[in-house]
A = this chain, B = another copy of it.
Amino acid sequence: MAAVAALATSSSAYPDILTPAGARAAIRDGLHTGPTAGMAPGFVQGNLAILPRDLAEDFLRFAVANPKPCPLVAVSEPGAFRIPSLGADLDVRTDVPRYRVWQDGVIVDEPTDLHRHWRDDLVTFVIGCSYSFESALMEDGIEIRHISRGCAVPMYRTSIQTTPAGRLRGPLVVSMRPMSPANAIRAIQITGRLPNVHGAPVHLGRPDLIGIADLSRPDYGDPVPVGPDEIPVFWACGVTPQAVIEAARPPFCITHYPGSMIVTDLRNARLAVS
């Protein structure tokens, strides 16, 4: 974040990373290679899954069957590295700070662009992420614990199974945010209107009922304290599709590097359904 702030204010010669096109340009030009949190505030950032066409068919059905962990913001044409609905200039090969390239379920490269890895059979999925709903919650005055503490959100594998599709199957992964009951109720109302970025929580109050034995030991991310007057609130998490793809051990696929998202022209505020 410090680097982002410095970049944002250092010189007018640099692109304005407070805008989506400026953020993408800074990333594309190699001026920014870290996390995208704080870039283009107010605009949707997405998780990325880039899959060969045959696995993409399975994944599209998986996403439709599991919209809470896997809300689709956009799907590219096969082989297309542009997704005009997310930004006229957007190029999925260059506009993410860092990628992960997987072969047979193993990370084989973490490049800053995909020129060496691009193939004409690849389909790109942009999946909604919790940055958008966290922004809406904070605008309502609700504290987001892991943001206050400057750490990653705690995430847990649950005993809830996703609906399988083809080769893709696995447990639902959830993120957890502690809140007072009154704030939990507000948060449900607010995020329920944002189905494209995970929507309403899937669970609250009783981690044991979804197979979470110890909140202080998340499977991903960092633990955060739950106050004596608070309850844990659980949202379906975008790590779910990544874990499901990883478990399927496809011969080849690409994801974003954790925290390094794709920045789009879509406004968070326009995600709300009525």
Contacts and interface: CB of A to CB of B under 8 A. Distances in A.
What is the oligomeric copy number? Answer: 2
A11 interface: no
A160 to B, nearest CB: 10
B205 A231 contact: yes
Interface string A203-237: 11110010000000000000000000101000000
Contacts of A203: 181-182, 185
A212 to B, nearest CB: 12
A229 to B, nearest CB: 6
Interface string A159-193: 00000000000000000000001101110110010
Given A192-B192, A274-B274, A185 B209 contact: no
A200 interface: yes
A74 interface: no
Interface residues of A, number: 19
A202 interface: yes
Contact of A185 (B201, B206, B231): B201
B185 A200 contact: yes
Interface of A: 181-182, 184-186, 188-189, 192, 200-206, 209, 229, 231, 274
14 contacts: A182-B202, A182-B203, A184-B204, A185-B188, A185-B192, A185-B200, A185-B201, A186-B200, A188-B188, A188-B192, A192-B192, A204-B231, A206-B231, A209-B229
